[in-house]
Chains A and B, each alone.
Chain A
Amino acid sequence: RKEVEQDPGPFNVPEGATVAFNCTYSNSASQSFFWYRQDCRKEPKLLMSVYSSGNEDGRFTAQLNRASQYISLLIRDSKLSDSATYLCVVNMQSNYQLIWGAGTKLIIKP
């Protein structure tokens, strides 16, 4: 089993729709969780950190479920500019290294 797993997609979604991504992780001792966004042939950029209480930033909402070991990202009112690959990232507490999921590709269609 991979340490961090994501549905590779692609998710093809009409503009204005709501889309949700899930990510599961294997190490129950993980402490830090992030969502990064990566545009085609570009570097990843931090979208948001994920906190235990859940957090929201505009149209984006991140949730953490420690009992089931998954994190989620919800995008409301999707825009064409949201088209990208979304990477789930988990910190392995034992060595503080970040473990990266393979990413979920999102395509927003007009």
Chain B
Amino acid sequence: DGGITQSPKYLFRKEGQNVTLSCEQNLNHDAMYWYRQDPGQGLRLIYYSHIVNDFQKGDIAEGYSVSREKKESFPLTVTSAQKNPTAFYLCASSPRDRGETQYFGPGTRLLVL
């Protein structure tokens, strides 16, 4: 089965702690994305990557970091600099980065203790 997996489903962060959200895809897609969704709002782009070893900041990159060492994987780290991290985090991929349809993983819900 081809698809996108995210883990964990729920994640709890303590004050001052960095946490990493996993995103893996076996669709052979070049482009991958991280979004944040807050209640009643649309998706906001955090980071995106067109190709391995390259990534770009989205609209709300502050307090987040990513890596793209493998085509299949695009982990997101929520650092202690992100002061309001409670949100639903969604990872997506598309064949290329040309405004095409994006396919999403099931999401990770991050809560601050």
CB-contact partner of A4 in B42, B90, B97, B106, under 8 A: B42
Interface residues on B, range: 20 to 34
Do A96 and B98 have beta carbons less than 8 Å apart?
yes
Residues of A within 8 A of B7 (CB): none
Contact A102 to B42, CB < 8 A, known contacts A44-B90, A97-B48, A97-B99: yes
Q: Is A100 an interface residue (CB 8 A)?
A: yes
**Interchain CA distance A41-B106 in the complex, whole Å:** 9
**Interchain CA distance A42-B107 in the complex, whole Å:** 7
In the complex, which residue of chain B has the Cβ closest to the Cβ of A43? Answer: B104
Chain A positions 33-58 with a Cβ under 8 Å from a chain B Cβ: 34, 41-46, 49
Using a CB–CB cutoff of 8 Å, the interface residues on chain A facing chain B are 4, 8, 31-32, 34, 41-46, 49, 87, 91-93, 96-98, 100-103
A-B contact list, 12 entries, CB within 8 Å: A8-B40, A31-B99, A32-B99, A34-B101, A43-B105, A43-B107, A46-B103, A49-B101, A96-B97, A96-B98, A97-B45, A97-B99
